[in-house]
């Protein structure tokens, strides 16, 4: 039997019950039930909102090491036809958090049964996809009591084959911000446009203008993305829309560019208000700090993977992906790495199907790294 099969089975059970941020009630209950099956003498378990803190006591601790996993799903209807597909219609673990959780439980289980010298704090964090769980979690009294010396996290990477660990020193993931813009004008009959202020036309004009920010206001040697992924407005085909709503995302590789992009968005939206005689409101929603891997500890991990494991280390480039783990490693040293799962479909896709062999790779790499680190 595959030694990691129990955690593959756990992944499949978790895959069936995806839940949105701060609604992970079944997920939390499942995790707590599993934790109760482990030897209790080395565990301290403290629920936090819909997440969990778990401290595994070491044999002779001199520090606390942090390990974070996210636990929420996405509002995406699954189209994989897997036998363990989501039982929650319209929701899916389309970002791999089911694998993340099963990997964390695998590492935790190993350290419970065969402890290392140091304590390890596992954080099962809710609401990574929104509205953001990392920042409030590290502000909690539990975190302050058990604050780690450094922290580790991972994220699945569909584009890399199983057996791959990909990371880099410095910037790994971008600064990100949600973007919601509401436009309100004056609706009316489609036959009398001169008596209205058409918000469909205003929205279309604004979307076109927004695309000029990256090409004309951001340093060409920097990078930024503005994507409007959803537009809603109007009621039927022969009524001019009084309201429209644009929903999108901003991603930049620097804090300075994020500030500049938002300044230009504000200016353009104000211009739409004047030009189309309407009212506008901007909401930036959840904002995620960049994931900036601390140089020394990341390089040490990369050297360990190359020299002491069977995993294939890839020194990757930074990505425009957003991850609120960035708030954690802004607070304390740490790093995140990509875990290859070799899926034809990418993150947030309704047909994402990671190869489950990656679960064993991650458990082995992280556990062996923690043992090596604690023995130094």
Q: Which DSSP letter does residue 333 get?
A: -
Please say which residue of 261, 287, 313 terminates a domain.
287
Question: Do 106 and 198 sit in the same domain of this protein?
Answer: no
Phi and psi angles of residue 31, each rounded to the nearest 5 degrees, phi first? -65, -45
The parent domain of residue 9 ranges over: 5-173+290-375
What pLDDT, on a 0 to 100 scale, did the predictor assign at position 56? 98
What pLDDT, on a 0 to 100 scale, did the predictor assign at position 82? 96
Question: Do 103 and 159 sit in the same domain of this protein?
Answer: yes
What pLDDT, on a 0 to 100 scale, did the predictor assign at position 376? 79
Task: Extract the runs of DSSP E, i.e. beta strands, from 164-218.
Answer: 164-167, 170-173, 175-184, 188-189
The residue assigned the tokens 């990656």 is 358
Phi and psi angles of residue 95, each rounded to the nearest 5 degrees, phi first? -125, 10
CATH code of residue 251: 3.30.70.360
Question: Do 206 and 299 sit in the same domain of this protein?
Answer: no
Question: Do 38 and 167 sit in the same domain of this protein?
Answer: yes
Question: Do 162 and 61 sit in the same domain of this protein?
Answer: yes
Question: Do 11 and 140 sit in the same domain of this protein?
Answer: yes
Residue 298: closest CA among 153, 97, 100, 99? 153
In whole angstroms, give the CA distance from residue 376 to residue 52: 29
In this structure, the number of other CB atoms found within 10 A of the CB of residue 88 comes to 17
Question: Do 147 and 50 sit in the same domain of this protein?
Answer: yes
What pLDDT, on a 0 to 100 scale, did the predictor assign at position 209? 97
Question: Do 110 and 243 sit in the same domain of this protein?
Answer: no
Question: Do 121 and 181 sit in the same domain of this protein?
Answer: no
Please say which residue of 256, 287, 318 terminates a domain.
287
Handedness of CA 72, 75, 80, 86 (dihedral sign): positive
The H or E element spanning position 11 is helix 5-15
Question: Do 14 and 113 sit in the same domain of this protein?
Answer: yes
What pLDDT, on a 0 to 100 scale, did the predictor assign at position 1? 60
Please say which residue of 265, 287, 309 terminates a domain.
287
Please, what's the b/e burial string for 3-16 (b: 16 or more CB within 10 A of its CB; e: otherwise)? ebeebbebbbebbb
Question: Do 320 and 234 sit in the same domain of this protein?
Answer: no
CATH code of residue 140: 3.40.630.10
Three-state DSSP at 346 gives coil
The pTM of the full predicted model, rounded to 2 decimals, is 0.92
Distances, alpha carbon 271 to alpha carbons 93, 137, 202, 206, 280, in Å:
40, 39, 10, 9, 10
Number of separate domains in the chain: 2
Question: Do 74 and 116 sit in the same domain of this protein?
Answer: yes
Q: What is the mean pLDDT of each run of 10 residues along the chain (376 residues)?
A: 92 98 98 97 97 97 97 98 97 98 98 96 96 96 98 98 98 96 98 97 98 94 94 97 98 94 98 98 92 98 98 96 95 97 97 98 98 89
Residues annotated as catalytic (active site), given as ranges? 70, 129
295: which residues sit within 8 A by CB, 6+ positions away?
A: 169, 170
CA angle 269, 274, 280 (to 5 degrees): 40
């Amino acid at each position: 039997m595959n030694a990691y099969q129990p955690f593959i089975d756990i992944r499949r059970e978790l895959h069936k019950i995806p839940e949105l941020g701060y609604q992970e009630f079944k997920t939390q209950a499942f995790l707590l039930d599993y934790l109760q099956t482990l030897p209790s003498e080395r565990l301290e378990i403290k629920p936090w909102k819909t997440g969990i803190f778990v401290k595994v006591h070491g044999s002779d601790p001199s520090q606390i090491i942090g390990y974070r996993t996210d636990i929420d799903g996405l509002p995406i209807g699954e189209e994989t036809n897997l036998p363990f597909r989501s039982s929650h219609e319209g929701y899916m673990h389309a970002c791999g958090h089911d694998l993340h959780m099963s990997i964390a439980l695998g590492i935790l289980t190993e350290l419970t049964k065969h402890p290392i010298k140091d304590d390890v704090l596992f954080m099962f964090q809710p609401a990574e996809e929104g509205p953001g769980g990392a920042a409030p979690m590290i502000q909690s009294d539990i975190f302050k009591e058990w604050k780690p010396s450094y922290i580790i996290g991972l994220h699945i990477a569909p584009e890399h084959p199983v057996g791959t660990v990909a990371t880099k020193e410095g910037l790994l993931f971008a600064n990100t911000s949600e973007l919601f813009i509401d436009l309100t004008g004056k609706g009316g009959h489609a036959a009398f446009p001169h008596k209205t202020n058409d918000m469909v036309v205003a929205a279309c004009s604004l979307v076109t203008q927004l695309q000029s920010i990256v090409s004309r206001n951001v340093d060409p040697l920097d990078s930024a993305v503005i994507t409007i992924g959803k537009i809603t407005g109007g009621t039927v085909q022969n009524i001019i829309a009084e309201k429209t709503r644009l929903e999108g995302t901003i991603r930049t590789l620097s804090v300075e560019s994020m500030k500049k992009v938002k300044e230009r968005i504000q200016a353009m939206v104000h211009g739409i208000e004047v030009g189309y005689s309407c009212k506008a409101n901007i909401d930036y929603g959840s904002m995620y700090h960049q994931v900036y891997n601390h140089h020394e500890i990341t390089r040490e991990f990369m050297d360990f993977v190359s020299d002491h494991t069977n995993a294939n280390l890839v020194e990757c480039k930074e990505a425009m992906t957003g991850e609120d783990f960035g708030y954690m490693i802004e607070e304390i040293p740490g790093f995140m790495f990509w875990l290859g799962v070799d899926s034809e479909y990418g993150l947030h896709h309704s047909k994402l199907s990671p190869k489950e062999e990656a679960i064993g790779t991650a458990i082995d790499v992280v556990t062996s790294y923690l043992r090596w680190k604690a023995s130094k």
